[in-house]
Amino acid sequence: MPKMMSMWRRYKRVVYVFAVGALIIGTYIPIFAPASVSALSGVQLEPRSIQMSDASPSGNATITTGVGSGTNVSYKVTFTNTNAFNSMAINFCDNSPIIGDTCLNTTAFPGETSPGGMSVSSAAIGTGADAPTTTCSGGAGNTVGGTGWSISEPNAYTVYLTSGGSNTVCSGGTQTVTLTGITNPTPVESFYGRMYTYTANAPASATPTAYTSATVPGSYLDYGGIALSTTQVITITAKVQESLSFCVTSAIYSTWTTTGDCSDPNVASHSPSATLGSVVGTNVVLTPEVKSTATDTFQLSTNATGGAILDMHSSNTCGGLSVNGGTDSCPIEAIGDFGLTGGQTNTFDLNTAETDDAALFGAQLGTATTGTAVISGLAGTGTLSNIAPYNGTGTLFGMNDTAVTGVVGEYGNEIADTTAPCYLLTDTLTFGATSALTTPAGIYSTNISLIATGSF
């Protein structure tokens, strides 16, 4: 009797173990093979990835285009397939990457709502730099999205890629195809992609079971799920204020050794006032039929996008040198008036003025150079173009005294310009004059204002 009881207990244990094992197996079969999923001999697409060109959510009221808008985004889909195939489907779901799970997405099927406004309805296969590539080995080596392939969007969360039936992608290759024109989900969230490949020319004609939805993907070959995420865009703001630095001094640039820019002490300590003439006794005076010159230095720095223009404005309404502010019509007249009818934009040779016993006044620009900031060591940059008639060389000087647009006009006359930002652009402005044997005695003067105007 004890022996029979012992055998009975062992028999019951065997029955319990079998029952528990049957329960466990019965519980997990639906998870690994849902009734709605009909894979053939496929395996997972490994490795696989989907790279977004912009992870920003869509619907941004401030950023409506480009990076940060979440619109017109490119998705680069890369995977390695085990089986040759002729078509594939890609779903985007809000809740799960698991093949056969309920897919919460757009409005194609009852009860399935979008990942917050995501849409692939305008998706296209990338071209040019976005063209798909392959390292497929064995077989014809066709490429997903390549020759003969096309794209369609049965709904706002699914794309079909089809080969046309004669462009089979071989097995064992790495495929890359770029999908353009996608709108990301509106909220910041994780969402998921599901990919399936098919022997059929299109997922909807797969056999024995056709693709009908993300929940019922039909008879697919290889497959895989991918997690993606949108994230808040990083908006970086940096303000650069407009700047314009311009100075004029009689100190030559080589003496600006403290800073090398307009803040140099030599700039402020050397007034740009110039005295024309040569020493006679204790005075500096103009000698008849002898030209005289004096040079000032100016420097320009600006970050104006369109660069800057330099104008010269004279206080004398006659444009030359006067003893009474111009009411004497400038006995030492502007070069533009000297026998040059309508020719105020011309230069004139002061050597000729000496020979002709003419009393004339004009100016000449030098060749611009770029300085160097002493403290930082930063080198200057930029170019300056001299405008006629101030672009003469040697003894050629000019002075445009045309009414309104010349140096006598309200805003003066343009003498030079730069068309782009510049830094420590340095140049010289030389004034020249001659007097005649009959020039009335007196102290002749004019006030010249150099005006720099940035085009921001």
Contact yes or no for 397/332 (Cβ under 8 A): no
* Lowest model confidence (mean pLDDT) among 110-114, 258-262, 274-278, 306-310: 110-114
Contact yes or no for 113/105 (Cβ under 8 A): yes
Supply the pLDDT for residue 64.
Answer: 92
Q: At CA 288, angle to CA 283 and CA 294, rounded to 5?
A: 60
Q: Please provide residue 294's backbone torsions phi and psi, each rounded to the nearest 5 degrees.
A: -150, 140
Contact yes or no for 359/406 (Cβ under 8 A): no
Whether residue 398 is predicted with pLDDT greater than 90 in this model: the reply is yes
Amino acid letter, 38: S
Q: Is 384 helix (H, G, I), strand (E, B) or coil?
A: coil
Supply the pLDDT for residue 128.
Answer: 61
Q: Which of 377, 401, 404, 375 is nearest to 389 (CA)?
A: 401
Whether residue 87 is predicted with pLDDT greater than 60 in this model: the reply is yes
Q: Is 266 helix (H, G, I), strand (E, B) or coil?
A: helix
Domains of the chain, earliest start first:
36-229 (2.60.40.10), 244-454 (no CATH)
pLDDT tens for 177-205 read 999 999 999 888 899 999 999 999 999 99
Question: Between 55 and 141, where is the model more confident?
Answer: 55
pLDDT tens for 127-144 read 765 545 554 444 445 778
- Residue with token string 């104006």: 304
pLDDT tens for 103-123 read 876 434 444 455 668 899 999
Categorize the per-residue pLDDT at 258 as very low, low, confident or very high, splitting at 50, 70 and 90. Answer: very high
Supply the pLDDT for residue 172.
Answer: 81
Whether residue 26 is predicted with pLDDT greater than 80 in this model: the reply is no
pTM score, whole prediction: 0.67
Categorize the per-residue pLDDT at 232 as very low, low, confident or very high, splitting at 50, 70 and 90. Answer: very high
Whether residue 444 is predicted with pLDDT greater than 70 in this model: the reply is yes
What does the alpha-carbon distance between residue 344 and residue 389 come to, in Å, rounded to a whole number?
Answer: 8
Supply the pLDDT for residue 19.
Answer: 36
Supply the pLDDT for residue 33.
Answer: 39
Q: Is the dihedral of CA 175, 177, 182, 186 positive or negative?
A: positive
Burial (CB count within 10 angstroms: exposed 0-12, middle 13-18, buried 19+), residue 422: buried
Q: Is 130 helix (H, G, I), strand (E, B) or coil?
A: helix
Supply the pLDDT for residue 166.
Answer: 73
Categorize the per-residue pLDDT at 282 as very low, low, confident or very high, splitting at 50, 70 and 90. Answer: confident
**Percent of the chain whose predicted confidence (pLDDT) is above 90:** 66
Q: What is the mean pLDDT of the chain?
A: 85
**Percent of the chain whose predicted confidence (pLDDT) is above 70:** 84
Supply the pLDDT for residue 187.
Answer: 87
Supply the pLDDT for residue 198.
Answer: 95
Categorize the per-residue pLDDT at 149 as very low, low, confident or very high, splitting at 50, 70 and 90. Answer: confident
Strand ranges inside 1-149, DSSP E:
48-52, 73-80, 87-93, 124-125, 133-134
Supply the pLDDT for residue 28.
Answer: 32
pLDDT tens for 301-360 read 999 999 999 999 999 999 999 999 999 999 999 998 776 555 567 889 999 999 999 999
